Structure 1
Amino acid sequence: MSDEHLHHLDNPNATTPPPRIELVSSVPSPPPMPGNAEAMTIRVVLPPGSEGNPPHRHTGPAYGYMIRGEMIFELEGEPERVVKAGESFWEPGGDRIHYQDANNLPDAETEFVVTMFGVAGQPMLIPVSAEELEARRDRRAPRP
C-alpha cells in the first residue's frame, strides 16, 4: 500500500489504540458517473445455492464488499470468478452486462454490501433480454 492510501491520523490525545484500517481495493481511474447520479448502499443476502439475479446491467458503477460466504461474479468480457468473504468487487456499469451474482455455497447464505452510483429515478437493475444476450454472445468470456 502506498502512502497516498494511508487513512490514519496520529492523535496525540488518544487514550486508546488507533483504528485498524486496511485498504481492501481501489479503482485507479474512476469510471464515468452518470448525470444526475444517486448513490445507494444496499445489503444483499443470497440463500444457499441461489442463482442470484438474471443477466442485467446498472446505470453506473458499483463497488461491493463480501461480508460472508462466496459469490460467483461474472461481468461481460471477464471470466467468472469467486469472490470470498473479506474481498471486494466492482463493476463500471453502463453498457456492460453483469451475467452472474450467484451464491457459490449450496449450504450457507452469502452476504455482501454494494454501493451503486446510478441515475436517480431509474431502476437499480436493468434486465437484459435473451435477444441481446445472443447478439452479444461473442463478448462473454469462455465459461469453465
Structure 2
Amino acid sequence: MAEPVTRVTLLEQSLAEQITAAVQVRRITMQPNVVGGRHHHNGPVFGAIEAGSAVFQVDGGPETLLRAGDVFYEPAGVLIDRFDATSEGVTFLGYFLSGADESPTLTPGPPTA
C-alpha cells in the first residue's frame, strides 16, 4: 500500500544573510517564443513551471530546459541570461522574496557594481 503522504525535496537553497520580510507569489504566462531578455532581480526568486517550457540560463552557466513540474532559482543581483518561452509558451509561479519596505523588481541587463 502506498504511503498516505510523501515528501520530496525538489530544491534546497541557502540564502546568506537574506532578511525576508515579504514574499510575493505571481503566476506569469509567456506566449510562445517570447524572449525574456537578460535581467536581474533585487531579491531572490524561486519558481515552478506549471505548463509549457522555457530555456533558462544563469550568469553564463549551462542552458536548462525547464518543463512542467520543474523548479528554478534566480539569485538576487545576478544576471539571468535567459528565461525564454519555447514554441509551446510557459506558465510558471514565481516566488519573489523582498526585505522590509522593498518591492520585487526586475531590471533589464546585468547588475551594476
User: TM-score, normalized by length of structure 2?
Assistant: 0.78
Query: Greater RCO between the two (CA within 8 Å, min separation 6)?
Result: 2
Contact 1:66 1:86 in 2 (8 A): yes
In the aligned structure 1, how far is the partner of 2:47 from the partner of 2:107?
18
Contact 2:43 2:104 in 1 (8 A): no
- The count of aligned residue pairs is 108
In the aligned structure 2, how far is the partner of 1:32 from the partner of 1:23?
20
Helix, strand or coil at the partner of 1:112: strand
Higher-Rg structure is: 1
Q: 2:102 aligns with which of 101, 113, 121?
A: 121
Map of 2:74 onto structure 1: 91
In the aligned structure 2, how far is the partner of 1:58 from the partner of 1:34?
14
Amino acid at match of 2:109: V
In the aligned structure 1, how far is the partner of 2:51 from the partner of 2:83?
14
Aligned residues with identical type, % of pairs: 23
Map of 1:39 onto structure 2: 23
CA drift at 1:43: 0.8
Contact 2:50 2:93 in 1 (8 A): yes
RMSD of aligned alpha carbons:
2.3
Q: 2:32 aligns with which of 41, 44, 48?
A: 48
Helix, strand or coil at the partner of 1:23: coil
Amino acid at match of 2:11: S
What stretches of structure 1 move > 6 A for 4+ residues in a row?
Answer: none
Q: Deviations over 1:28-86 (max 9, x none)?
A: xx12355574311111111011112x211111211111111111111113122111111
Map of 2:91 onto structure 1: 111
Q: 2:53 aligns with which of 64, 67, 70?
A: 70
Amino acid at match of 1:89: F
Inter-CA distance 114–126: structure 2 relative to 1 (3 Å threshold): same
Inter-CA distance 116–31: structure 2 relative to 1 (3 Å threshold): same
Gaps of 5+ in 1: 1-16, 133-144
CA drift at 1:101: 0.9
Helix, strand or coil at the partner of 1:70: strand
More strand, by proportion: 2
